[in-house]
Amino acid sequence: MDRQAQYDEDFYAWSQQQADVLRSMAARRRDLPNELDLEHVAEEIEDVGKSELKGVISHLRQMLVHAIKLASSPESEAVAGWKTEVIDHQALARDRFTNAMRKDIDLDDLWRRSCREAGKKLAVYGEAMAPMADESPLTLDELLDEELDAEDLVRRLGNA
């Protein structure tokens, strides 16, 4: 894949690769101007890519938090809103996700953080979180699958 295609199709991978190239250049090339701060330029490019990754993780976390609340409090007046949030956050995660991010998403950590957040939010309303698995009951591909809707997700959480 050429650089333009990689930039257009997988910005996260491009940013990580470009940061590596800049660091390598800084280590090998002594003929570059002293004013050229390649290490910090590389760090900034890498951070822009990491921001994309954090966005995907955040949307996946919000999707899971709302699904956990749905599974825990199916009679709540907020059910329709929670379903909408699941749909919205899944779509946003799917739109921003690239395959290069896969290796940097710790699904079990994401699951545990989502459970903690959902539990705290439910507690504010005097509700308890339903028992949940210790590890993520879904794979990343399943979470990003367009065919997975809020009700299927809740069913999967309940069967874990």
Contact 43, 27 (CB under 8 A): no
CATH superfamily name and code, 3-158: Uncharcterised protein PF01724 (1.20.1220.20)
What is the reported pLDDT for 23? 82
- Tens digit of each residue's pLDDT, the chain (160 residues): 566 556 667 788 888 888 888 888 777 767 766 667 777 888 888 888 899 999 999 999 999 999 999 999 999 999 999 999 999 999 999 999 999 999 999 999 999 999 999 999 999 999 999 999 999 999 999 999 999 999 999 999 876 6
Q: What pLDDT is attached to residue 6?
A: 66
pTM for this prediction = 0.84
Each domain of the chain, given as residue ranges in start order, spans 3-158
Query: How far apart are alpha carbons 62 and 114 in whole angstroms?
Result: 7
- Residue 45 has a pLDDT of 82
Q: What share of the chain is helix, strand, coil (3-state, %, to 5)?
A: 70, 0, 30
pLDDT recorded at residue 143? 97
Helix residue ranges, H only, the chain: 3-9, 11-28, 38-72, 79-96, 107-124, 140-144, 150-158
Structure-token match 């990491």, residue found: 50
In whole angstroms, what is the distance from residue 160 CA to residue 135 CA? 9
